[in-house]
């Protein structure tokens, strides 16, 4: 993952972020060349197919080079930064007096001190949350007289600084008139794929925020005008005209104007979701059953809980508590199938996933050991993971390892669904919207709060009787929450 060259400069490479991820896109650099970093201090924010991750560097010292611009996709094992380890003062002297030699990494003339060797050891941990507890040192800027490495060495306020010769073309620096009002990495990527200068667009979002619709509108407008060319330092924008497009001269494998529509690459979160759902459909013989339930008493119970003081209890937390109780009675549904061994693996612990729709797409954060949490604990964990999902800060660990999924599609205003199982799990409980409906209650017609529940399950792990028993127990708990008192 990282190795030391001759001298004091260590190279830190993009680590394996887990779950078979082979590449990541640089979203934002958190340090610049010349900054002093501490062991396990985050140096770059990257986006994978799973989540946005801050990557900490296992070395402490002075950053001598950065590799890759914001928006660049790097494979696992590619260099991220080089760090000159040692005391800060010694690093400053080395940066000021030591000439740069070699390509790709700089060498410092001073010998390693014991303190440098200690810092060079680092913690060996590279994911946020797995590092040492040491607080990051205050960053100090060191201005080296000469570039220390080959490649892109820095980017600040839209400016790209090249530290030496670079193989291939280098994209032109952006104008230094303030940051571009863009939040979404997908918007930047779409503009970059078509060499569109975002500074030329007027955003339609809040405070002039540039949205994906603004970029797509600009591309359509350019195509309608027969082509649009704006010279840049690294090349020119080229939009195919109607003649070349109709003659087949233009064939774009990525998103862009096309006579038959717009092509959207299956990459990032969308690509990961597509792969996982396709695999689920190929491998899992699923079936779905439904039941309507009177949720009036559950809603009253929640109101009573929240009226008694203390943290407010969410509805999804109560549904999760019902799920864990049902899985304790029907453990066949908390399992997975080992296709190679032709075995069903029943799992002892419930790691409950819940479907969450975000601006980046569908994600399924996982509540660890949900069976061991009460309603308050579940509420707090749901809130934490939901906020992290909306902010794009979920780690790969937050998104993996689920054993059962709760899908509350009622938030979209729909009653029912036949969801696709989250492979390699064996089942998913779906919850529709809770709405007032006519219902026979105690022999009389009344207006009650009714919800539709659905269970999609892997028919390899159980038969319909088990699935029906699970769903009926869930419905009984929704209709009569006191049923849960047996297992509390």
Predicted confidence (pLDDT) per residue in 260-284, tens digit:
788 888 877 778 888 888 999 999 9
Q: How confident is the model at residue 347 (pLDDT cuts 50, 70, 90)?
A: very high
> Strand pairing of 435-441 and 444-458?
antiparallel
The owner of tokens 């794009």 is 392
Q: Is 459 a catalytic residue?
A: yes
CA atoms within 13 A of residue 439's CA, in its CB half-sphere: 16
pLDDT in tens, 109-145: 344 444 444 444 444 444 433 344 344 444 444 444 4
Task: Quickly count: other Cβ atoms within 10 Å of residue 35's Cβ.
Answer: 21
N-terminal to C-terminal alpha carbon distance within the chain: 47
pLDDT in tens, 237-266: 444 444 444 444 444 444 455 567 888 888
| Active-site residue (options: 97, 338, 374, 463) | 463
> Strand pairing of 41-47 and 335-338?
unpaired
Name the least confident of 85-94, 410-419, 478-487.
Answer: 85-94
135 neighbors 37 (Cβ within 8 angstroms): no
373 neighbors 308 (Cβ within 8 angstroms): no
Look at residue 346 in the predicted model and tell me its pLDDT.
Answer: 96
Q: Is 398 a catalytic residue?
A: no
Q: What pTM does this model have?
A: 0.54
Q: How confident is the model at residue 175 (pLDDT cuts 50, 70, 90)?
A: very low
pLDDT in tens, 56-69: 898 889 999 999 88
CA angle 98, 100, 102 (to 5 degrees): 140
| Active-site residue (options: 145, 275, 359, 459) | 459
Mean pLDDT of 311-325: 95
């Amino acid at each position: 993952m990282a190795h030391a060259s001759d001298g004091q400069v260590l190279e830190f490479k993009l680590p394996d972020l887990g779950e078979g991820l082979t590449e990541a896109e640089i979203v934002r650099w958190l340090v610049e060349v010349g900054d002093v970093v501490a062991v396990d201090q985050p140096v770059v924010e990257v986006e994978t197919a799973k989540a946005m991750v801050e990557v900490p560097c296992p070395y402490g010292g002075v950053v001598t080079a950065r590799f890759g611009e914001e928006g660049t996709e790097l494979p696992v094992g590619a260099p991220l930064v080089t760090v000159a380890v040692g005391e800060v003062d010694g690093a400053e002297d080395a940066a000021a007096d030591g000439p740069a030699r070699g390509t790709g990494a700089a060498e410092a003339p001073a010998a390693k001190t014991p303190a440098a060797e200690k810092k060079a050891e680092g913690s060996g941990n590279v994911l946020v949350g797995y590092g040492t507890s040491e607080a990051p040192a205050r960053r100090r800027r060191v201005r080296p007289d000469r570039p220390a490495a080959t490649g892109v060495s820095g980017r600040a306020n839209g400016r790209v600084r090249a530290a030496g010769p670079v193989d291939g073309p280098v994209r032109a620096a952006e104008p230094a008139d303030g940051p571009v009002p863009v939040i979404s990495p997908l918007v930047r990527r779409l503009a970059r794929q078509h060499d569109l200068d975002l500074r030329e667009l007027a955003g339609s979002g809040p405070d002039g925020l540039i949205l994906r619709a603004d970029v797509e509108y600009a591309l359509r407008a350019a195509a309608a005008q027969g082509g649009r060319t704006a010279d840049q330092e690294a090349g020119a924008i080229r939009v195919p005209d109607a003649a070349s497009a109709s003659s087949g001269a233009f064939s774009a494998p990525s998103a862009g104007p096309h006579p038959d529509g717009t092509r959207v690459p299956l990459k990032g979160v969308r690509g990961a979701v597509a792969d996982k759902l396709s695999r689920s459909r190929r491998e899992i013989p699923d079936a779905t059953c439904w039941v309507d339930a009177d949720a009036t008493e559950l809603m009253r119970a929640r109101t009573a809980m929240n009226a008694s003081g203390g943290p407010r209890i969410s509805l999804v937390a109560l549904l999760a508590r019902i799920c864990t109780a049902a899985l304790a009675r029907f453990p066949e549904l908390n399992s997975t199938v080992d296709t190679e061994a032709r075995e069903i693996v029943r799992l002892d612990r419930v790691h409950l996933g819940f479907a969450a729709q975000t601006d980046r797409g569908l994600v399924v954060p996982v509540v660890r050991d949900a069976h061991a949490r009460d309603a308050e604990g579940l509420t707090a964990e749901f809130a934490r993971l939901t906020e992290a999902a909306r902010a794009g800060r979920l780690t790969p660990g937050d998104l993996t390892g689920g054993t059962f999924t709760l899908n509350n599609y009622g938030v979209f205003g729909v009653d029912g669904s036949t969801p696709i199982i989250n492979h390699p799990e064996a089942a998913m409980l779906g919850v529709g919207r809770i709405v007032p409906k006519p219902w026979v209650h105690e022999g009389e017609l009344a207006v009650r709060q009714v919800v539709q529940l659905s269970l999609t399950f892997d028919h390899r792990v159980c038969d319909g009787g088990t699935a029906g028993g699970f769903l009926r127990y869930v419905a009984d708990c929704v209709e009569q929450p006191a049923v849960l008192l047996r297992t509390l």
